[in-house]
């Protein structure tokens, strides 16, 4: 059985799933998205992703396309139809289809909804986590509302391509003051020389990662010290450990920054333990 996508009220074969050329997501990046990790066919950290979706939409004055309860049914049905147990679910909501004018279209224009489901090879992900990944740094050049999860991802695309060409997996944006904000599709963390976990605070221009938020709970439950305080790339290289978090990467050890090793250049014990604890928690909080 092939992949199935959801487009504006219908489940269709993935290869035939299309949106209108005047979809505002396509023409203006006037759309938001969410990504859920799927564990055993269930949506991980479901509540956090729904809450952020509602916030992103409300900040842009796009109505929820349907109630949270109805959306949950549709998301689960998308997972079921694709028969995916371990994977990712992508949801995009745009301001809808309308003649190309910058201001908002007529109030009765329904938001456009697209859902895709993809499989993840957990054994390959675990092997990657066991090896650790490299990151590169790049100058922050995004707009000032990175707290809204919009599909306007061109700086992230360019940053992640730069990482790929350098043999790395993620790019960390560095702001005017020299501090890391976050990655192209993940939040950035270190374990500093004093053994304190550090990640950027959410007053900064970053996405409020759902994985980041859950991991803060995990860290506190584990009795580890954590500070929401910025760090520089030099501090990351001098740190004991570094890692990134996101629905795709989960908790992924970082072993080099701009080609120079972090700590011993291998995944550290704290990141490795937090990955295990996070996955356990995400499974317990999935629906
Ligand atoms: N930061 C950015 C820019 C992202 O695109 C993402 C995820 O795609 C994250 C952080 C991590 O967020 P989450 O943990 O909610 O997946």
| Residue 247, ligand 1, Cβ within 6 A | yes
Which domains are present in the chain? 4-120 (3.30.470.10), 125-284 (3.20.10.10)
Which segments in the chain show pLDDT lower than 70? 1
- pLDDT at position 285 is 87
Interval 77-130: pLDDT, tens: 999 999 999 999 999 999 999 999 999 999 999 999 999 999 999 999 999 999
Report how far ligand 1's centroid is from the alpha carbon of 246 (Å).
5
- Asked whether 214 lines ligand 1 (CB < 6 A), one says no
- Alpha-carbon gap, residue 89 to 102, rounded angstroms: 30
Q: Would you say 191 and 240 are in contact if contact means Cβ atoms under 8 Å apart?
A: yes
pLDDT of residue 1: 64
Determine which residue's CA is closest to atom 10 belonging to ligand 1: 186
Distance 13 CA to ligand 1 centre (A): 28
With b for 16 or more beta-carbon neighbours within 10 A and e for fewer, the 46-80 pattern comes to bebbbebbeebbeebebeebbeeeebeebbbebbe
Whole-number Å distance, alpha carbon 208 to ligand 1 midpoint, is: 7
> In this predicted structure, what is the pLDDT of residue 276?
98
* Helix extents (H) in the chain: 24-28, 46-60, 68-82, 122-131, 154-165, 210-221, 233-238, 269-284
CB 226 within 8 A of CB 216: yes
Rg of the chain, C-alpha, whole Å: 19
**Ligand 1 within 6 A of CB of 207:** yes
Please report the atom of ligand 1 found closest to the CA of residue 247.
16
Tokens read off for 285: 């909080």
Q: Which residues are catalytic?
A: 149
């Amino acid at each position: 059985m092939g992949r199935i996508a959801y487009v504006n009220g219908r489940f269709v074969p993935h290869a035939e799933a299309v949106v209108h050329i005047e979809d505002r997501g396509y023409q203006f990046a006037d759309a938001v998205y969410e990504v859920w990790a799927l564990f055993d066919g269930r949506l991980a950290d479901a509540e956090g992703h729904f809450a952020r979706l509602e916030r992103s939409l409300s900040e842009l004055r796009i109505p929820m396309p349907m109630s949270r309860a109805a959306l949950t049914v549709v998301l689960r049905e998308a997972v079921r139809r694709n028969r995916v147990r371990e994977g990712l679910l992508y949801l995009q909501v745009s301001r809808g289809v309308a003649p190309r004018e910058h201001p908002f279209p007529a109030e009765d224009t329904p938001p456009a909804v697209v859902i895709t489901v993809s499989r993840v090879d957990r054994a390959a992900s675990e092997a990657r986590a066991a090896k650790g990944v490299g990151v590169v740094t790049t100058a922050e050049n995004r707009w000032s509302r990175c707290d809204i999860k919009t599909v306007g991802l061109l700086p992230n695309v360019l940053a992640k391509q730069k990482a790929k060409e350098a043999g790395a997996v993620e790019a960390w944006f560095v702001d005017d003051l020299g501090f890391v904000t976050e990655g192209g599709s993940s939040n950035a963390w270190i374990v500093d020389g004093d053994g304190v976990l550090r990640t950027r605070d959410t007053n900064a221009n970053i996405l409020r990662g759902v994985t980041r938020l859950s991991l803060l709970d995990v860290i506190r439950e584990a009795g580890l010290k954590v500070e929401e305080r910025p760090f520089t790339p030099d501090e990351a290289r001098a740190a004991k450990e570094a890692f990134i978090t996101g629905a795709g990467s989960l908790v992924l050890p970082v072993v080099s920054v701009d080609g120079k090793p972090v700590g011993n250049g291998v995944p550290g014990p704290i990141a490795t333990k937090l990955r295990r604890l996070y996955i356990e928690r995400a499974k317990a909080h999935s629906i």
